[in-house]
Structure 1
Amino acid sequence: MARNRDLPTWLAAVHPRYQVPHHAELALAVVVGILVLTTDLRGVIGFSSFGVLLYYAIANASAFTQPAGRRRWPRAVNVLGLIGCVVLAVTLPWRSAVTAAVVLAAAVVVRKVTTGRAGSARN
């Protein structure tokens, strides 16, 4: 995201030696630190778990589509990983899953709108 300039300029700064978006990492550390010190984050655990499981489900589905020569593990491992992620995701509290799905949908809409505007301005 930093290299593609999907973040504001200050947050998109990539460290010259470590090649990480160091300003974004610092900003996130400050925000998370403040939240940890001031709020009860137990409700966020399910929300976060849903996001992580979705990420790994997508990774397993993507790995399944790799050609045989580029695959590290048999496709059965990807299928089991995908099924495991889905099973764990449906066992999460429904409010967490719904909230995460709504936030994800909103992020997709914002991304579509912002890249649509940027794309039309470049042409």
Structure 2
Amino acid sequence: MAAAVMVIAGWGGWMILASAWMAGFSETLGDLLSTSRVGHSMGQAHELPHWLAAMHKRFQSPHRVLVLLAVVSVALVNFVPLRQLLPVASACTLVWYAATNFAALKLEKKQRFAWPVVSWLGIAACVAIFFSLPLWSIAACAGILGLLTGVRWLLLRTHFKRA
């Protein structure tokens, strides 16, 4: 940023800061829209607890999932240093992308809009980038996914015991 201030003058730093804010905003908006759709689908498939999957009457969106995501995101950004948070977030995102590519492989031929080799290349790219991340971020991602899997297992187990 200091180089930008030297080259462009005093407003160069503000230009970089504004660009970073816009990039962050567009990324957040994209994540919010996709998370809303995933939350909606998971709610319909009964993959979420009923109270969490509740749909907003007017907007037909899983508003409690979105509020929970916002609270967790704000807490992480405010209490965890970004240099530690970003590699873990990258690892989790790569797992999500690999799962999406794997799900595309399971589609029937008439439902696909790309050849299966595209999904295989996507999975290979995700795995390659995943293992280029720091080992501690991979371990943190595995821990987070393990914790969430355990919570899901526990919720399913207690739900089936009541039924």
Q: TM tier, shorter chain? A: 0.7 to 0.9
* Offset, 1:37: 4.2
Residues 17-40 of structure 1: CA deviation (Å, up to 9, x unaligned): 322222442344344335434542
Does residue 6 of the first structure (1) align with residue 36 of the second (2)? no
Deviations 1:57-101 (A, max 9, x none): 011112112221111101111111111111110001110001110
Select between 109-118 and 28-37 the one with higher mean Cα deviation: 28-37
Match of 1:108 in 2: 149
Distance (whole Å) between structure 2 residues aligned to residue 13 and residue 108 of structure 1 = 21
Aligned residue runs from structure 1 range 77-116, under 5 A: 77-116=118-157
Q: Secondary structure at the match of 2:83?
A: coil
Give the % identical residues.
Answer: 30
Count of matched residue pairs: 121
TM-score (norm 1): 0.82
Distance 1:50 1:86 in 2: 10
CA distance in 1, matches of 2:83, 2:141: 15
Q: How does 1:37-56 map to 2 (within 5 A)?
A: 37-56=78-97
- Unaligned segments of structure 1, at least 5 residues: none
Stretches of structure 2 lacking an aligned partner (at least 5 in a row): 1-41
Q: Indicate yes or no: 2:82 matched with 1:61.
A: no
| 1:120 equivalenced with 2:158 (yes/no) | no
Relative contact order (C-alpha < 8 Å, sep 6+): which is higher? 1
1:21 to 59, 62, 69: 62
Q: Distance in 2 between matches of 1:83 and 1:44?
A: 24
Structure 1 runs of 4+ off > 6 angstroms? none
The one-letter code sitting in structure 1 at the alignment partner of 2:120 is V
Q: More helix per residue: 1 or 2? A: 2
